[in-house]
């Protein structure tokens, strides 16, 4: 009647229904987890901006995809921490206009070498 594999699946389904790993395995979106991730990322961006000496407005402008409320929370938390412990900003040591290499650009493949052919003599056709 039932195949052993399908019977095992039916028996295991109630046990796995509450498992977060099953949702990740099947790539089921989890809005609560995504919202918590976005909030934490925004706070990290805000606190990094404050530690680097950037204004909150600059931080908003440089990170339009991040939640403004989360950026503000991170910026304010870091500001309070820095004021409490008398810490100074840590300015960037990178030259202006520096763009960090991505994983694809990190190890570029060398361009193929093209053989240099000398030009023909002036009198030759």
pLDDT digits (tens, 9 = 90+) for 53-87: 999 999 999 999 999 999 999 999 999 999 999 99
In a domain, residue 112? The reply is no
In a domain, residue 105? The reply is no
Q: What is the pTM of this model?
A: 0.60
In a domain, residue 15? The reply is no
In a domain, residue 109? The reply is no
Residue 100 has pLDDT above 80, yes or no: no
Spatial CA neighbour of 78 closest among 37, 41, 39, 49? 49
In a domain, residue 57? The reply is yes
What's the number of domains the chain is made of?
1
In a domain, residue 59? The reply is yes
In a domain, residue 42? The reply is yes
Find the domain containing 80 and state its range: 31-91
């Amino acid at each position: 009647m039932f195949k052993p594999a399908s019977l095992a699946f039916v028996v295991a389904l109630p046990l796995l229904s509450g498992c977060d790993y099953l949702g990740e395995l099947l790539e089921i979106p989890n809005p609560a987890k995504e919202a918590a991730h976005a909030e934490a990322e925004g706070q990290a961006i805000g606190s990094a901006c404050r530690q680097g000496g950037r204004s909150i407005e600059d931080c908003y402008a440089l990170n339009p995809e991040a939640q403004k409320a989360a950026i503000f929370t991170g910026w304010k938390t870091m500001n309070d921490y820095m004021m409490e412990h008398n810490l100074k900003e840590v300015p960037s040591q990178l030259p202006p206009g520096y763009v960090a290499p991505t994983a694809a650009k990190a190890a570029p493949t060398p361009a193929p070498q093209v053989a240099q052919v000398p030009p023909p003599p002036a009198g030759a056709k």
